[in-house]
Amino acid sequence: MGIAVIYGSSRRNGNSEQLANLLVDGFEADRIYLSDYTIHPIVDYRHSDKGTYPDDDYHHVIKRVLAQDVLVFTTPIYWYGASGLTKTFIDRWSQSLRENKSEFLTTLSNKTAWVIGIGDDQPHLKGIPLVQQFQYVFEYTGTHFAGYVLGKGNKPGDIHQDTIAVATVAQIRKTWHF
């Protein structure tokens, strides 16, 4: 039973990555840095007869995500939402719905998801819409939304000063028996 960590930051070693690493340290985890890949915006072909999806890294990334049982979406809070990298990746799920809807949803419905969002401007309050969007996403896919951690940080490393976020992550680890 493995974990996929989907890092949505534009840079390495930022606060959201650091908190996610505290969470998964010692567990088997596939670490997927979205910034390493090229994933183009979705094109909406729901109402077209034809259409070709971008030939980019989406299939590679979604395959790795779907191969794990626990998903940890890890994103800085950019402009009060998930990063564009994260959002663009999720938008592409519409492609998977078109390619094989029932398989895609069945696969996701057997997974458990966590969300980590780190920001600088009152993240515990202004990060709430981000959490609610994931709530609706997981309701749609049938994924169990196990919980989220909103934490405060600006300069890399700040997150360790958010002792409540760090303690929350330590406690979540204790509930993981896999």
Tokens representing residue 60 in the block = 């590679």
Q: Select from 61, 62, 45, 65 the least CA-distant residue to 53.
A: 45
Is 59 in a helix, a strand, or coil?
A: helix
Interface pattern 90-119 for a second copy (x via CB under 8 A): xx-xx-------------------------
Interface pattern 14-53 for a second copy (x via CB under 8 A): x--------------------x-----xxxx-xxx-----
- Stretch of residues binding a second copy (CB under 8 A), selected from 18-26, 57-65, 104-112, 123-131: 123-131
CA distances from 127 to 62, 94, 132, 152 (A): 25, 24, 9, 10
Q: Select from 82, 81, 41, 39 the least CA-distant residue to 60.
A: 39
Q: Which is nearer to a second copy, 100 or 161 (CB)?
A: 161
Tell me if 91 sits within 8 A of 22, measured CB to CB: no
Amino acid at 9: S
Interaction between residue 84 and a second copy (CB under 8 A): yes
Interaction between residue 72 and a second copy (CB under 8 A): no
Residues that bind a second copy (CB under 8 A): 9-11, 14, 35, 41-44, 46-48, 76, 78-85, 87-88, 90-91, 93-94, 121, 124-126, 128-133, 135-137, 140, 145, 147-148, 154-156, 163-164, 167-168, 170-172, 174-175
